[in-house]
């Protein structure tokens, strides 16, 4: 099987799992009416989107470094037409150390925009469950509204410690104006998975900190 075919299959798997898991997880919380959606633009100039995000990152060294990596890498448009309640970012993230096995440079998952329980950004990072304690790690989203030039950042730190919740999410960002929003998720997160209890794993879990060396980039409609 060709590399492109494998990438396409992996991408479809991430899209299906992320949308289903994120929707199930947020449904467990109080819900709000999703904002109306508008047709997505036919194409997105990803280089221009990354430049706008780089401008919005000015003064934030961590965000600047993440956006610089976007600008110096080729960006293939993986067009996925979607609407709220779940819109998966078109370009996935790659992790530095991997999620569970320590392998570097692997596909990590994708950012996601959600319209359940308010408008939120998040990231799907399975397999492996996000650890309840994210001390020492920080996953963030940087966004830019193409409709009016508004921009901002948010920490992704909301997560329910249940098996179906495979996302880290932001607080409700419903105050963002409607329009086409380009966003990038960057940073790091702790994962955990069950192992036999022993001296090294007294709580029955192994832990691994995954760092994104390449952010997930996407354009969504609010």
Assess whether pLDDT exceeds 80 at residue 53.
yes
Backbone phi, psi, residue 144, to 5°: -140, 125
Q: Which one is predicted more confidently, 6 or 85?
A: 85
Q: How far apart are alpha carbons 53 and 51 in whole angstroms?
A: 5
Edge-to-edge strand ranges of the sheet holding 167-169 = 86-88, 111-114, 120-124, 167-169
Instruction: Identify the band that residue 30 occupies on the pLDDT scale cut at 50, 70 and 90.
Output: very low
The mean-pLDDT minimum among 50-64, 99-113, 135-149 falls in 99-113
pLDDT tens-place string over residues 157-209 = 999 988 888 899 999 999 999 999 999 999 999 988 889 999 999 999 988 88
- Is the pLDDT confidence value at 14 over 60? no
Q: What is the percentage of the chain residues whose pLDDT exceeds 70?
A: 70
Spatial distance between the Cα atoms of 188 and 198, rounded to a whole number of angstroms:
27
Check pLDDT > 90 for residue 36.
Answer: no
Q: What does the alpha-carbon distance between residue 165 and residue 210 come to, in Å, rounded to a whole number?
A: 17
pLDDT tens-digit readout, 133-153: 999 999 999 999 998 999 999
In this prediction, residue 213 has a pLDDT band, given cuts at 50, 70 and 90, of confident
Q: Which residues pair with 52 in a beta bridge?
A: none
Give dist(CA 203, CA 200) in Å, integer.
9
Tokens 């794993």 belong to residue: 201
Report for 30-34, 67-71, 79-83, 198-202: range of highest mean pLDDT:
198-202
Structure-token pair, residue 220: 């969504």
Element (H, E) at 181: strand 180-194
- Region 6-20 average pLDDT: 45
- Tell me the pLDDT band of 96, cut-offs 50, 70 and 90: confident
Q: Tell me which DSSP letter residue 55 carries.
A: H
Phi, psi of 136 (to 5 degrees): 90, -5
- Rounded CA-CA distance 172/154 in Å is 10
């Amino acid at each position: 099987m060709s590399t492109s075919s494998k990438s396409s299959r992996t991408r479809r798997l991430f899209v299906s799992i992320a949308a289903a898991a994120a929707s199930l997880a947020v449904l467990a919380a109080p819900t709000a009416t999703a904002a109306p959606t508008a047709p997505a633009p036919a194409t997105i100039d990803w280089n221009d989107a990354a430049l706008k995000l780089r401008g919005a990152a000015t003064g934030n060294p961590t965000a600047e470094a993440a956006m610089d990596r976007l600008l110096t890498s080729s960006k293939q448009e993986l067009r996925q037409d979607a609407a709220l309640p779940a819109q998966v970012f078109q370009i996935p993230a790659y992790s530095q150390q991997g999620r569970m096995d320590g392998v570097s440079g692997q596909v990590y998952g994708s950012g996601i925009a959600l319209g359940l329980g308010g408008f939120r950004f998040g990231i799907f990072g399975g397999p492996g469950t996000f650890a309840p304690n994210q001390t020492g790690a920080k996953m963030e989203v940087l966004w830019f509204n193409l409709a009016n030039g508004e921009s901002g950042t948010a920490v992704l730190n909301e997560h329910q410690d249940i098996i179906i919740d495979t996302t880290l999410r932001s607080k409700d960002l419903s105050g963002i104006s409607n329009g086409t929003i380009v966003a990038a998720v960057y940073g790091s997160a702790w994962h955990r998975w069950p192992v036999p209890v022993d001296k090294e794993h007294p709580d029955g879990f192994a832990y691994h900190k995954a760092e994104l060396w390449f952010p997930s980039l996407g354009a969504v409609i609010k």
